[in-house]
Amino acid sequence: MRFVVILFLVIFSAPAGAEVGMGDAAAAALAAKAARNDAASLAALERAAEGGDIDAQFRLGALYLESGPRQNFAEAMRWFRRASDQGDAVAAYDIGVLYLQGNGVDPNDEAAAEWFLLAWERGNVDARYNLAQMCARGRGVACERRDPINWLIEAAERGHLGAQRDLGRRYYEGDGVARDRVKARKWLGEAALHDDAHALNLLGVMMASGDGGARDSRAACAIFEKAAKQGLDAAQYNYGNCLFSGTTGRKDALGAVDWFRRAAEQGFAQAQFNLGVAYRNGDGVARDEKLALTWIEEAAKRGHEPAKEYLRGSSIATPR
């Protein structure tokens, strides 16, 4: 089974609100019009920002981040700094992102970490998550003085989806923490409440085997389906297996092949193998030895051992 974890949440945050200024709604409205090349709105936003309006400063910085002819990372940095000087947490976070990505400045992990620390002190949970990930990868943070797992826990407890998903995965794998499948299931369950595909899939794997809690194969299949519909290849493969085995209530070879194909077309080796076996045996599709060999060869190229065995002459009866 393969799971993908987002290691850095480097999107730019939405504003958390500020205590000084015209109000973010008004500044956002001006910025939206300015983005549509409304010169009067841009001028009004600039006047407010120059006059010290924190909401206008933040929105003007965000406007300069947008792709297109107006994009100017240096100007975005300038206005984010002005807003941060007045205490804006999200502006501090976005400065950290600019340093992390090297947009408008030379990449500087140490500077990024300092800005994320400042943003966290002001209450920005995304900053805490990024700090945990940077520390875990030895990027710009003195990890010997800070425990990235504690940072993850703090962010997860405050509802940060990425932290919840990553913490669940870490407890599942024993990555940086003692393996604890009960805690893994708890945090994956929290992330799954947000319909996160990776959390749903790994939670389904645990439910199907009874790992960390009660076993419920049918409920696991329902979870796989939710993740599969979001396009996650591992979940598509898992849901295909549910249909093929009849765990959903009845065997549906035709439906199984459809989901195997979706995952196979994304390069998921296990699904490629199962699709090849389906063509070889005529399960859910017309028997086709040529297509069977094509898909099994694709799986073998990706290191799938049963596919390699087949190509060496071993017989195959059912998907794996």
List, for residues 259-311, the tens digit of each pLDDT value: 999 999 999 999 999 999 999 999 999 999 999 999 999 999 999 999 999 99
Q: Is residue 19 over pLDDT 50?
A: no
Mean pLDDT of the residues in the chain: 88
Neighbours of 50 (CB within 10 A): 12
Supply the angle between the helices 197-209 and 233-245 in degrees, to the nearest 10: 40
Give dist(CA 61, CA 70) in Å, integer: 11
**In the prediction, which pLDDT does 165 show?**
97
**In the prediction, which pLDDT does 318 show?**
54
Domains present along the chain, CATH in parentheses: 24-233 (1.25.40.10), 234-320 (1.25.40.10)
Q: What share of the chain in percent tops pLDDT 90?
A: 66
Amino acid at 13: S
pTM confidence score:
0.74
Q: How far apart are the first and last CA of the chain?
A: 12
**In the prediction, which pLDDT does 282 show?**
96
Confidence at 24, pLDDT banded by 50, 70, 90: confident
Contact 221, 237 (CB under 8 A): no
Give dist(CA 311, CA 276) in Å, integer: 12
25 torsion bin: left (phi>0), alpha (psi -120 to 50), beta (else): alpha
**pLDDT tens-digit profile of 85-141?**
999 999 999 999 999 999 989 999 999 999 998 998 898 999 989 988 888 787 877
Task: Return the DSSP state at 15.
Answer: P
The phi and psi torsions of 268 (rounded to 5 degrees) equal -80, 115
